[in-house]
Structure 1
């Protein structure tokens, strides 16, 4: 397993394979990996002793694209598991090799290679895969927070567990993009992550809208709402980057600085003020946590993008009425 931290933008490409494990540990490792990185489910395999799997996951800052190759398995995501853990994501699945089945109340589909389908982590469902002529099944998954997809909920729901062609038209474009994205992930430059995240969301949106009534599915107000949600998500993911700025955010999302500032007017805050507020909030939360007590205050401040301890202390005092050290002491039992 390998991971790389690229410059000031965190983009992780992780490769993993069960061949590195004892045969008896492989299926359990796969269960735990999918629970942590995709969603909680109960996975079963008829031939656990012969189970094999490989995975590559590319984290583009909250948008995760994964290629999974594994022996025939089945899984169930129950209502209880949904209640216990729901990342509130849409998951676009592309069957690359083998067959992929999905079932939920009133609906069941079996997909062949070069077909997409969509599912929602907020729903319970069953799924299964089958190998092709003794070769492992292969799928590509795209995990996207539902809040940043600029489509109305009701039209999206029509596509859940429905087959979407991936070998022609816009489906072929998205298929080619995802395959190349996975293959070339180790070679990306540090600043590619934010741009690729935006491209990925736009292509997923275009694919889904193509199979809906595009004009009705993507109202203008939802475009702005989704962009705003993506910007907030971007800010949260990059608070630790001292270079985070309104201009950096505007560039990453392909909008002008003026348009970005106008989006934040409804909050009564500038973009810079929002960044400062969230950094201070995260620092305050960390200072109140018992498990963070071993860490010096200046390291916590630096973790969230403050490069000057004196500047951080002044801002914290002005915002919360206590110095960082006094606040930390006041939160101790």
Structure 2
């Protein structure tokens, strides 16, 4: 199940509350600075939820400002997109020359690898999620060139995404269900932000249809551009252009998805009796040595050591290659 950590300024001396709040935000979601608005005693609370593939936090506070500068980006190493669901109050996100105003029900998306600031002129409550770049860009490649971006609360897709975010913050979602909710949120964010021009470009074959076919066939070692193109009735050139538009290649995307699937299997205690080689072959790898090499290159640890670290030595029935 997901675990919850709570910070509240109510347990802190008034003169120390704002510095406490800055540290709490950094621990809960992202490395930033906080600036006060007004001289009154500051009150705020934030909860973070761990257990899925992303970081999720929910907070309520008095007016203030959050600033993330280039130094934070370089020091923290955090990447991806920060998704903000405005539950109440107002906020303005500024990144570069662009800004968006969020009101209750709206969702904002900002690139955390670039400087930005968020102003809260009124008391506010929000839910935040830090999503890996690849997860959103493969569904919404237009995000690379149009941030910050707003999904209006009047959109049914934004409304559903907000409901999913709220569910993640209940603290009662099991890991596998949390990961499915995150996948759904990414799909809903793509649907709620897709520009009309991109819809026209991709109307002949939705990108999600292509990716769904590939995910369903990751276990097949023979999966290839000609095979996928023939099944989807598009040219191989068109297929490669789709991946170019997403900022990747067919081979890199398939490898990343297979590695994620294997990592998930190594995390799954119900598969503890399955050997590492069986997991690799089940997800389309042809050679164990190749799988071990690319797994370590991506995650910085061998599959064997990863399983041991996640499951602990001495699990009954743990199989080895």
Please say whether Structure 1 and Structure 2 have the same fold, judged by a TM-score greater than 0.5.
yes
Select 1:278's aligned residue among 284, 294, 302. Answer: 302
Q: Does 1:208 align with 2:190?
A: yes
Q: Does 1:106 align with 2:97?
A: yes
The CA distance in 2 between the partners of 1:152 and 1:62, in whole Å, is 17
Select 1:220's aligned residue among 210, 213, 219. Answer: 210
1:95 touches 1:112 (CA, 8 Å); kept in 2? yes
Aligned partner of 1:93 in structure 2 is 84
TM-score normalised according to structure 1 size: 0.66
The CA distance in 1 between the partners of 2:289 and 2:211, in whole Å, is 19
Q: Deviations over 1:137-193 (max 9, x none)?
A: 0111111122333626741224521221124311111122222432x32x44xxx22
Q: Structure 1: 5+ residue runs without aligned partners?
A: 1-5, 250-256, 284-300, 320-333
**Root mean square deviation of aligned Cα:** 3.9
Q: Deviations over 1:26-49 (max 9, x none)?
A: 111111122223222221013355
Select 2:313's aligned residue among 278, 302, 306. Answer: 306
2:56 touches 2:127 (CA, 8 Å); kept in 1? yes
The CA distance in 1 between the partners of 2:144 and 2:75, in whole Å, is 22
Aligned partner of 1:329 in structure 2 is none
Q: Does 1:155 align with 2:142?
A: yes
1:149 touches 1:201 (CA, 8 Å); kept in 2? no
* Distance of aligned partners of 1:233 and 1:280 in 2 relative to their CA distance in 1, 3 Å threshold: closer
1:17 touches 1:54 (CA, 8 Å); kept in 2? yes
The CA distance in 1 between the partners of 2:183 and 2:9, in whole Å, is 30
Select 2:177's aligned residue among 171, 186, 195. Answer: 195
Aligned partner of 2:282 in structure 1 is 261
Aligned partner of 1:164 in structure 2 is 151
- Counting only pairs closer than 5 Å after superposition, residues 1-333 of structure 1 correspond to structure 2 as 6=1, 11-47=2-38, 49-131=40-122, 136-149=123-136, 151=138, 154-182=141-169, 184-185=170-171, 187-188=172-173, 192-212=174-194, 213=198, 215=202, 218=208, 220=210, 224=215, 225=253, 227-228=257-258, 230-231=260-261, 234=264, 238=267, 243=270, 245=272, 261-265=282-286, 278=302, 280-281=304-305, 305-307=312-314
TM-score normalised according to structure 2 size: 0.68
Aligned residues: 266
2:139 touches 2:186 (CA, 8 Å); kept in 1? no
Helix, strand or coil at the partner of 1:39? coil
Q: Deviations over 1:217-271 (max 9, x none)?
A: 64735964364464366468x4xx7655498x9xxxxxxx999823444876679
Q: Structure 2: 5+ residue runs without aligned partners?
A: 216-252
